Amino acid sequence: MDELFTEGAPIEDTKAPEGPLEECWDKRRFGGKLVNPANRRKLSVIVVGTGLAGGSAAATLGELGYQVKSFCYQDSPRRAHSIAAQGGINAAKNYRNDGDSIQRLFYDTIKGGDYRSRESNVYRLAQVSVEIIDQCVAQGVPFARDYGGLLDTRSFGGVQVSRTFYARGQTGQQLLLGAYQALERQVAAGTVQMFARHEMLELIVVDGVARGIVARDMVTGEIETHTADAVVLASGGYGNVFFLSTNAKGCNVTATWRAHRKGALFANPCFTQIHPTCIPPSGDHQSKLTLMSESLRNDGRVWVPAKKGDTRKAADIPEDERDYYLERIYPSFGNLVPRDIASRAAKNVCDEGRGVGPGGLGVYLDFADAIARLGRDAVAAKYGNLFEMYERITGEDPFDVPMRIYPAVHYTMGGLWVDYDLQSTIPGLFVIGEANFSDHGANRLGASALMQGLADGYFVLPNTISDYLAKGPFEKIGEDHEAVVEAREAVDSRIEKLLSIDGDRTPDSFHRELGAVMWEYCGMERHEVGLLKAIERIRELREEFWTRVKVPGENEEFNQNLEKAGRIADFFELAELMCIDALHREESCGGHFCTASQTPDGEALRDDERFAYVAAWEYTGGAPVLHKEDLEYENVKMTQRSYK
């Protein structure tokens, strides 16, 4: 394993002030320098991505008076994938008087993250959470309300308090539209310049400091350079490295990967979250997976045939030949075990050849008992819209035949390493939202992604970035600056290379193959042999990609396959790092299950002695260098979970 990576100096966050956790954020804001309002309009910031984090950050920075340039690859900032989040957003408002508090949200998040996140950041997240709700309501986000007209909440993701605010099953959409409208208001005011259908392809670093980006206008193909005094990446997660995921088709790692190549450390890349209740793939044509609310497991019973290769219809399998495996293995939690356990158990039974549906990739989620117990109408009232969605996609009615579900990649906890100020290891480069690694540790709790995105964008970054920008005015960087020219030429030559190969395989065919390798060896269960095999296979595939890919058309046009090919090229490099990270972390924690580290019952077993750290990887072009950030817990006690 030595040749795969080397270990470098440890790394630490130097921005979080010493002292009690609850005073940390106040102290930091007081300690940070401010920028005089008159000077703000002379300072410019680039924000890449317009999801909850990027959209809210660009809007807020514009409102503060900075000159902001906002970029997104979609045709409108309103389409970023935050829009697809269904469940809700957590906030420690304690409107229910049920014992919730900032301290409890903090604790739940640290524990849910399996003790692999930084206390100071998570505490601040919990503090800021209450303001997010105020902000969103003021913007007109139509949260669910009770009959008294007050905000309704529900309990979500297995926590004991009711702290999740929601807008039917479309919370992400409503929150994103709030941020989008705030952003468009700034566009109208002239403080934000919007660049839709633009994709960031390179970071411009001048003397070790982030000073701009190279972007491609996806309509004309023009390669543009944009310089600024600071760059903010809010480009989301990298779940699409698996090809099949619940991410939007366009989600990619290119922005963060290019920054990584320029010196930003990439933290915990192997921490990916796999969601157990997705609609299974229906064949080789499958292009993405659709998530269904986890609430289905409240009333549905999960089972597979007891015998291998049983091809009978579900209804023809008698009760005693069914294996309700979650209820069997986890008698006290049954069908409600946490996401990772449910996902892994499903994979295990499918690997045993007992899966159902096309390709044997699926398990039943059966509502027959619930229908018998509660009546068809009650089940329809609770799950009607989910059943409809399922039927639209599969053509099967869950009232007649059991649903089929299968796990799918859903969220990536890893991302670029950032300090308390959300600044990466490249000065002037800030990373927010899913693109950074900061708040969720090894596993994210339900309804926390939206919270983090908006916390970073509305409240944290606008405060911390001023401390950096207060160092200005910065030297002007012209188009002809050596570093700008170099970044631009790198982009030009990569595009030229991709177009000139003219091989015999489509970009998508490589992506599918890469995804299959990652899913098999770096998915729900990881082990040394598999990961080594995966690394070998990824390297072969990458080589093949650069000799056999066929990208049609040219650069100077709307060319969706050129976009894809560039993203896939970066996914190859990320995939290898993910496998190396997974290989080196010889413990199981959160979304990372290492078969060598489990309890006798087959549960995930953390190794806090050896692995209570953040693995931050440095790009070298060869074997990456590991920098460890040790995690110290002064306010919570580390415990091992059990769901038996």
Partner 1 sequence: MRDVSSVTRSTPVATRPRPKTPSSAAGPLKRYRSSVGRKVVMAVTGAILFLFVITHMLGDLKAFLGREDFNHYSYWLRSVGAPALPHRVFLSSLEAGLVVAVILHIWAAVSLARQARRARPVRYAARPKVHENGYATYVMRYGGVVILLFVIWHLLDLTFGAVNPKGENATPYDKVIADFDPARWYITLFYIVAVILVGLHLRHGLFSAVQTLGWGRQGRYPAIRLVADVTAALVVLGFVAVPVGVTIGVLK
Partner 2 sequence: MKLTLKIWRQQNTADKGRMVSYELDDVSPDMSFLEMLDILNERLILEDEDPVAFDHDCREGICGMCSLVIDGTPHGPEKATTTCQLHMRKFKDGDVITIEPWRARAFPVIKDLVVDRTAFDRIIQAGGYISAPTGSAPEAAAIPVPKDDANDAFDAATCIGCGACVAACPNASAMLFTAAKITHLGLLPQGQPERYDRVTAMVDQMDAEGFGGCTNTGECTAVCPKGIPLETISRLNADLLKAYRG
- Per CB under 8 A, does 217 bind partner 1? no
In whole angstroms, give the CA distance from residue 86 to residue 34.
37
Pick between residue 194 and residue 259 the one whose CB is nearest to partner 2: 194
Active site residue 354: no
Q: Provide the residue count of the chain.
A: 644
Least Cβ distance, residue 53 to partner 1 (angstroms) = 15
In whole angstroms, give the CA distance from residue 489 to residue 64.
34
Residue type, 86: Q
Pick between residue 181 and residue 348 the one whose CB is nearest to partner 2: 181
The one segment of 317-325, 439-447, 457-465, 519-527 that binds partner 1 by CB under 8 A: 457-465
Pick between residue 140 and residue 473 the one whose CB is nearest to partner 2: 140
The item of partner 2, partner 1, none sharing an interface with residue 485, based on CB under 5 to 8 Å by kind, is: none
In whole angstroms, give the CA distance from residue 78 to residue 172.
11
In whole angstroms, give the CA distance from residue 620 to residue 368.
56
Taking CB under 8 A as the criterion, the residue among 5, 11, 21, 40 binding partner 1 is 40
The item of partner 1, partner 2, none sharing an interface with residue 65, based on CB under 5 to 8 Å by kind, is: partner 1
Least Cβ distance, residue 138 to partner 2 (angstroms) = 4
Pick between residue 24 and residue 267 the one whose CB is nearest to partner 1: 24
Taking CB under 8 A as the criterion, the residue among 460, 518, 577, 579 binding partner 1 is 460
How many Cα atoms sit within 13 Å of 162 on the Cβ side? 9
Residue type, 571: F
In whole angstroms, give the CA distance from residue 240 to residue 249.
8
In whole angstroms, give the CA distance from residue 409 to residue 243.
9
In whole angstroms, give the CA distance from residue 357 to residue 393.
14
The item of partner 1, partner 2, none sharing an interface with residue 83, based on CB under 5 to 8 Å by kind, is: partner 2
The item of partner 1, partner 2, none sharing an interface with residue 478, based on CB under 5 to 8 Å by kind, is: none
Least Cβ distance, residue 80 to partner 2 (angstroms) = 8
- Per CB under 8 A, does 63 bind partner 1? yes
- Kindly state the DSSP code that residue 335 receives in the 8-state scheme: G
* Catalytic, out of 79, 124, 301, 339: 339
Pick between residue 146 and residue 489 the one whose CB is nearest to partner 2: 146
Q: Which among 364, 270, 241, 274 has a CA at the least distance from the CA of 312?
A: 364
> Alpha-carbon dihedral of residues 29, 31, 37, 41, nearest 10 degrees?
-90
Least Cβ distance, residue 130 to partner 1 (angstroms) = 7
The item of partner 1, partner 2, none sharing an interface with residue 568, based on CB under 5 to 8 Å by kind, is: none
> Alpha-carbon dihedral of residues 161, 163, 169, 170, nearest 10 degrees?
-160
* 3-state per-residue secondary structure call for 182-236: HHHHHHHHCCEEEECCEEEEEEEEECCEEEEEEEEECCCCCEEEEECCEEEECCC
Q: Which among 448, 431, 447 has a CA at the least distance from the CA of 439?
A: 448
- Per CB under 8 A, does 591 bind partner 1? no
The one segment of 61-69, 250-258, 316-324, 433-441 that binds partner 1 by CB under 8 A: 61-69
Write the interaction track for partner 1 spanning residues 174-213; mark x where CB under 8 A is met and - where it is not: ------------x--x-x----------------------
The item of partner 1, partner 2, none sharing an interface with residue 149, based on CB under 5 to 8 Å by kind, is: partner 2
Least Cβ distance, residue 430 to partner 1 (angstroms) = 15
- Per CB under 8 A, does 94 bind partner 1? no
Token reading at 349: 């039974």
The item of partner 1, partner 2, none sharing an interface with residue 151, based on CB under 5 to 8 Å by kind, is: partner 2
Pick between residue 150 and residue 378 the one whose CB is nearest to partner 1: 150
Total of chain residues touching partner 1, rule CB under 8 A:
27
Write the interaction track for partner 1 spanning residues 464-503; mark x where CB under 8 A is met and - where it is not: --x-------------------------------------
Pick between residue 86 and residue 129 the one whose CB is nearest to partner 1: 129
Pick between residue 63 and residue 520 the one whose CB is nearest to partner 1: 63
Least Cβ distance, residue 532 to partner 2 (angstroms) = 31
Least Cβ distance, residue 628 to partner 2 (angstroms) = 36
Cα dihedral sign for 42, 416, 450, 96?
Answer: negative
Least Cβ distance, residue 229 to partner 2 (angstroms) = 20
Taking CB under 8 A as the criterion, the residue among 62, 172, 269, 590 binding partner 1 is 62
Q: How far is CA 189 from CA 67, 193, 525, 578, in A?
A: 11, 10, 50, 42
Taking CB under 8 A as the criterion, the residue among 44, 60, 120, 277 binding partner 1 is 60
The item of partner 1, partner 2, none sharing an interface with residue 561, based on CB under 5 to 8 Å by kind, is: partner 2
Least Cβ distance, residue 12 to partner 2 (angstroms) = 30
In whole angstroms, give the CA distance from residue 504 to residue 71.
33
Angle at 434 between CA 490 and CA 113, to 5 degrees: 135
In whole angstroms, give the CA distance from residue 608 to residue 600.
18
The item of partner 2, partner 1, none sharing an interface with residue 546, based on CB under 5 to 8 Å by kind, is: none
The item of partner 1, partner 2, none sharing an interface with residue 150, based on CB under 5 to 8 Å by kind, is: partner 2
Q: How far is CA 262 from CA 209, 233, 257, 567, 625, in A?
A: 10, 14, 9, 17, 14
* 3-state per-residue secondary structure call for 454-511: HHHHHHHHHHHHHHHHCCCCCCCCCCCCHHHHHHHHHHHHHHHHHHHHCCCECHHHHH
In whole angstroms, give the CA distance from residue 580 to residue 628.
15
Strand 415-416 to 403-412 pairing: unpaired
Pick between residue 325 and residue 545 the one whose CB is nearest to partner 2: 545
Write the interaction track for partner 1 spanning residues 17-36; mark x where CB under 8 A is met and - where it is not: --------xx--x----x--
Least Cβ distance, residue 601 to partner 2 (angstroms) = 36
Applying the rule CB under 8 A, the residues between 97 and 136 that interact with partner 1 are: 124, 127-128, 130-131, 134
Least Cβ distance, residue 229 to partner 1 (angstroms) = 16
SS3 134: helix
- Per CB under 8 A, does 459 bind partner 1? yes
The item of partner 2, partner 1, none sharing an interface with residue 37, based on CB under 5 to 8 Å by kind, is: partner 1
Helix (H) or strand (E) holding 345: helix 339-351
**CB contact set of 416 (below 8 Å; sequence gap of 6+):** 233, 256, 259, 260, 264, 265, 266, 267, 424, 431, 435, 436, 437
Tally of CB atoms within 10 A around 308: 11
Q: Residues 49, 416: contact at Cβ < 8 Å?
A: no
Q: Residues 233, 431: contact at Cβ < 8 Å?
A: yes
Query: Which residues of the shown chain bind partner 1 in the complex (CB under 8 A)?
Result: 25-26, 29, 34, 37, 40-41, 60, 62-65, 124, 127-128, 130-131, 134, 186, 189, 191, 458-460, 462-463, 466
Residues recognised as catalytic: 339
